[in-house]
Amino acid sequence: AHIQLRRGMAKSKFEYVRDFEVQDTCLQNCWVVVRVDGRNFHRFSDQHNFTKPNDARALLLMNHCAKSVMEEIKDICLAYGQSDEYSFVFHRKSNWYKRRASKFMTHVVSQFASSYVFYWNEFFPEQPILYPPGFDGRVVLYPSEQNLKDYLSWRQADCHINNLYNTVFWALVQKSGLTPAQAQDRLKGTLSGDKNEILFSEFNINYNNEPVMYRKGSVILWNKVNEISKKVIKLPHEAEEKEVEVCRVRNQPVVLHCDIINDAFWEEHQNVLSAES
């Protein structure tokens, strides 16, 4: 008992260390973007035999994890992913955890990481996961809607450039038998047009016919869906129970693969960035 008392006192004696935490509030009225990136995913994809240049299973797993993050954190109004990265946009009016940057990034990145392992088997039924992967995360603020759209355009343009490059690179390696070094050499200094030309003339590939998820990445938005479920009820004036259909409107994250650089996307989805969404 005596010892415990001392400890109880000790606690308050030590509690001053809480004052060393500093506030990291995100500026009000700015769009908050959390970007998650795979750590050492080059190695991870090698060891788990990812198909090159794109592994559909891996991309679908990424999308599933992103949806899992959004289901947990409703203040995210949009997400965009490609390759081993995913960006999550919190609405400018969000006051989630008082807009603390560390809360934004650690909740998102940990939910993403645990989901990645949790759902792995669903997408890679024949490839066991060998070790727990790491991710990093960061927070960036965008004061205007245009800045936010430009951020997302930047990531989609990055997707395009990398995917075009990788598509040609792996065609040269896998189909023409070049070594990686030779393929790299061949592509040095080429423009987009040159790469398209190589694909078409040497491999009979029209790049624009490649799967749209590879070329454009994935956008996730909230969508209202009617969820119909069956329920057994017993009405007061009836002897028998009976089964009825119950319809409930539910918000659900939905994955799209489309251009988000041009205005058409934003015109079609005006409510995404509006105050009420």
Name which of 2 and 237 has its Cβ closer to its own copies.
2
Kindly state the smallest distance separating residue 70's Cβ from its own copies, in Å: 13
Which residues are paired to 251 by β-bridges? 224
Name which of 54 and 87 has its Cβ closer to its own copies.
87
Kindly state the smallest distance separating residue 145's Cβ from its own copies, in Å: 10
Spell out a b/e string for 117-141, using b for 16 or more CB atoms within 10 Å of the CB, else e: eebbeebbeeeeeeeebebebebbb
Name which of 132 and 236 has its Cβ closer to its own copies.
132
Name which of 19 and 126 has its Cβ closer to its own copies.
19
Kindly state the smallest distance separating residue 251's Cβ from its own copies, in Å: 19
Report in angstroms the alpha-carbon separations of 165 from 60, 119, 207, 231.
21, 30, 11, 53
Kindly state the smallest distance separating residue 162's Cβ from its own copies, in Å: 10
Kindly state the smallest distance separating residue 255's Cβ from its own copies, in Å: 18
Residue 203 main-chain phi, psi, to 5 deg: -125, 0
Name the token pair of 222. 């909230």
Which strand ranges, in their side-by-side order, compose the sheet holding 242-256?
Answer: 135-142, 31-38, 85-90, 76-82, 218-233, 242-256
Kindly state the smallest distance separating residue 76's Cβ from its own copies, in Å: 13
Closest CA to 218 of 250, 252, 253: 253
Name which of 7 and 224 has its Cβ closer to its own copies.
7
Closest CA to 82 of 118, 121, 55, 116: 55
Name which of 1 and 232 has its Cβ closer to its own copies.
1
Name the token pair of 256. 């799209």
> Quick one: how far is CA 61 from the chain centroid?
10
Kindly state the smallest distance separating residue 164's Cβ from its own copies, in Å: 7
Name which of 43 and 224 has its Cβ closer to its own copies.
43
Kindly state the smallest distance separating residue 239's Cβ from its own copies, in Å: 37
DSSP result, 48-95: TT--SS--HHHHHHHHHHHHHHHHH-TTEEEEEEETTEEEEEE-TT--
Name which of 136 and 185 has its Cβ closer to its own copies.
136
* 48, amino acid identity: H
Contact 31, 148 (CB under 8 A): yes
